[in-house]
Structure 1
């Protein structure tokens, strides 16, 4: 794989660490700005909103710029937002910083995938995507814990400045190793917009949203479920979440290997395992052994299906920056949908385990969304067999 692809993964790692950091240092930010924990939570929402709405708009604005230049401009915008956050003297200033970084992060996801797809032949796109998106998995396993340690020993601002250094380094490396042009730079905005008329693209978007929604309906509430239902001591939860992070890295490596040749089987089997894990967790949330097993299975099969989802998008609509950016926004929307519905079920009195059932239902809907394609594949296989 070209070294540039690893640099793109490093940038995604840096930006995803920035995204997750607030969740890990909420008490520190609450004390710093004299606001409630709920208000700090809105900083997470602001970042997600920036990714969902602003990312595609920024991608459209940069549609006539080369992908390398767009990558560098987006990195500079993110850098400005992160420096603003690290220097924030008020809650409002931090809110603006989070919106800026959310918008630029979504656009960077799209442009990074677009560049990586241009750098490899079609049969290696799944593997290339797994390296770029691996930055997301590593941020979950290592980036967030590191940010929490920085906060604990050097103060919350140090975790923000650490990301500034990482983004700056990634941008400088990108300037050196990303090719100035690629064979698909000529893709026009009009042709990309035409892709959105394809119903198969929206079907792929729907599956992606449901997979991520199912995962985050459960993941968002792992900590209270593990402590209040499964009976784990609070000190054990970081270890279990660390195991989850390792599982996501392992699952991402496997998916990256299988997504190119076996894209639909990878999605189908992965979704079936995710559904089984959520069902098992929902039925036996008070069993510590089953809980840990379910957490590992969700780590292996949830967000780790991203390379297969991205490969499906490129086969349906090509490698245009706008399409890949919108796909990233759809994934962010899945995070919001899953975690929000899970929270609503708890607030409505359905119990702390209810988000697991929300995840199970969303996973079932994800499997249903694949049925037309599985039937079509079966029909094609029968036709080929009859011809032979």
Structure 2
């Protein structure tokens, strides 16, 4: 595997650390910006909104302008570093919110561009493995990035955490400039050909399930820090280690799910949502018990974000995995992320307390499970077995 692929994985690590680290430094941001914790939770949603709306538009624009992938990625990393610098210097919530949207736009486009470059620098037979290394940066952000930025916040302040991401982004930009080979010009997207895939109702069903699964996870995860401090009674100094344990569980779950997702995507998601729903419900009931809370935190990590390989495998089996299908899926995932954070915060704002995000996560997990039931037990049809409009049709699984 070329060194360049690992550099791209480091790039994704840097960007997703910024996306998720707000969950670990909520109390500091709330105090510094003089807003309730619920409003800080919305900063995660705002980042996701930038990814949902701006990311696909930026990617399509770069492709239509035939900007080479290397130059496109460098430009986007420069924009990301600038927006993150504004966030690190913010003295008001409004400035922070604008900066989060801008970083979301650049981050989404960087993600797609990094995957495209990884496909260019390796042979077709190992492109999947290369993509797994790149996406592994996201998992590493949960294991290392979020706990480290939380620890830095507690000792050096929240601004130092933001500046760390600026430094990492700048370093990745230099490494890309030096090590990534010159890219060929991006091919222009055939929107007409891509739009045919969206006539498939099973694709929309897969998108809906993806959004519900991610919403269930982030309705709860976005508020783990205040729950663990104010209800469970952990000291703030323990939070980085608890989030680190959650991140390790993500990595372990991701490895197991990734191994079997191609063959058993639906079954994995069904059992994942059952276990997630039960663990969040028990967490809500026994939140005062430190031992039980830690166990359930780890269980949630095992069946939470680690569902990503399964939901991606399902979409890739359901429709031709062209750039528009995958870009829209990325947007759908981030819609779920933003909606989940907002729903969890809305439950607290409505006066139902800090346990509300956990119960709302349970409800969303049940909805995700219901969306999967029509596909349980169905066999995947051969790609060549059915033709729609002269093109082979993907199976609903």
| TM-score where L is the length of structure 1 | 0.82
Bigger drift between 314-323 and 301-310 goes to: 314-323
Q: Secondary structure at the match of 1:180?
A: coil
Contact 1:56 1:107 in 2 (8 A): yes
Q: Secondary structure at the match of 1:102?
A: helix
Q: Counterpart of 1:11?
A: 11
* Cα shift at 1:247: 0.9
Determine the C-alpha separation between the residues in 2 that align with 1:151 and 1:229. Answer: 21
- The correspondence for 2:202, drawn from 177, 200, 223, is 200
Determine the C-alpha separation between the residues in 1 that align with 2:131 and 2:267. Answer: 17
Structure 2 counterparts to residues 258-337 of structure 1, below 5 A: 258-337=260-339
Q: Counterpart of 2:385?
A: none
* Cα shift at 1:206: 1.1
* Cα shift at 1:105: 0.9
Bigger drift between 317-326 and 248-257 goes to: 317-326
* Cα shift at 1:361: 2.0
Q: Counterpart of 1:383?
A: none
Contact 2:284 2:355 in 1 (8 A): yes
Determine the C-alpha separation between the residues in 1 that align with 2:114 and 2:206. Answer: 20
* Cα shift at 1:303: 0.7
Contact 1:129 1:310 in 2 (8 A): no
Q: CA, structure 1 residues 173+235, in 2 after alignment: closer, same or farther (shift >3 Å)?
A: closer
Q: Counterpart of 1:99?
A: 101
- The correspondence for 1:243, drawn from 242, 245, 248, is 245
Corresponding position: 1:59 with 2:59: yes
Q: Aligned-residue CA RMSD in angstroms? A: 3.3
Q: Counterpart of 1:385?
A: none
Determine the C-alpha separation between the residues in 2 that align with 1:320 and 1:164. Answer: 32
Corresponding position: 1:368 with 2:367: no
- The correspondence for 1:136, drawn from 138, 149, 152, is 138
Q: CA, structure 1 residues 76+260, in 2 after alignment: closer, same or farther (shift >3 Å)?
A: farther
* Cα shift at 1:229: 4.0
User: What is the total number of aligned residue pairs between the two structures?
Assistant: 377
* Cα shift at 1:301: 1.1
Contact 2:151 2:240 in 1 (8 A): no
Q: Deviations over 1:167-189 (max 9, x none)?
A: 2332343443367249x956523
* Cα shift at 1:212: 0.9
Q: Deviations over 1:330-382 (max 9, x none)?
A: 222212222222233334344533322221221122122222322422899xx
* Cα shift at 1:15: 0.7
* Cα shift at 1:240: 2.1
Contact 2:146 2:243 in 1 (8 A): no
Contact 1:216 1:335 in 2 (8 A): yes
Q: Counterpart of 2:389?
A: none
Determine the C-alpha separation between the residues in 1 that align with 2:380 and 2:261. Answer: 19
Determine the C-alpha separation between the residues in 1 that align with 2:90 and 2:287. Answer: 41
Q: Deviations over 1:241-273 (max 9, x none)?
A: 221111112222222322344433333333333
Contact 1:130 1:255 in 2 (8 A): no
* Cα shift at 1:327: 1.9
Determine the C-alpha separation between the residues in 1 that align with 2:105 and 2:21. Answer: 16
* Cα shift at 1:296: 0.7
Q: Counterpart of 2:395?
A: none
Q: CA, structure 1 residues 331+154, in 2 after alignment: closer, same or farther (shift >3 Å)?
A: same
Determine the C-alpha separation between the residues in 1 that align with 2:31 and 2:290. Answer: 34
Unaligned runs of 5+ residues in structure 2 are 383-397
Corresponding position: 1:180 with 2:179: no
Structure 2 counterparts to residues 122-161 of structure 1, below 5 A: 125=128, 128-161=130-163
Determine the C-alpha separation between the residues in 1 that align with 2:76 and 2:250. Answer: 27
| TM-score where L is the length of structure 2 | 0.80
Determine the C-alpha separation between the residues in 1 that align with 2:164 and 2:226. Answer: 29
Q: Deviations over 1:71-98 (max 9, x none)?
A: 3332232133223434557665544332
Q: Deviations over 1:203-242 (max 9, x none)?
A: 1211111111111122122234334444544443433222
* Cα shift at 1:24: 4.3
Determine the C-alpha separation between the residues in 2 that align with 1:253 and 1:277. Answer: 20
- The correspondence for 2:81, drawn from 76, 79, 90, is 79
Determine the C-alpha separation between the residues in 2 that align with 1:35 and 1:117. Answer: 45
Determine the C-alpha separation between the residues in 2 that align with 1:347 and 1:28. Answer: 19
* Cα shift at 1:297: 1.0
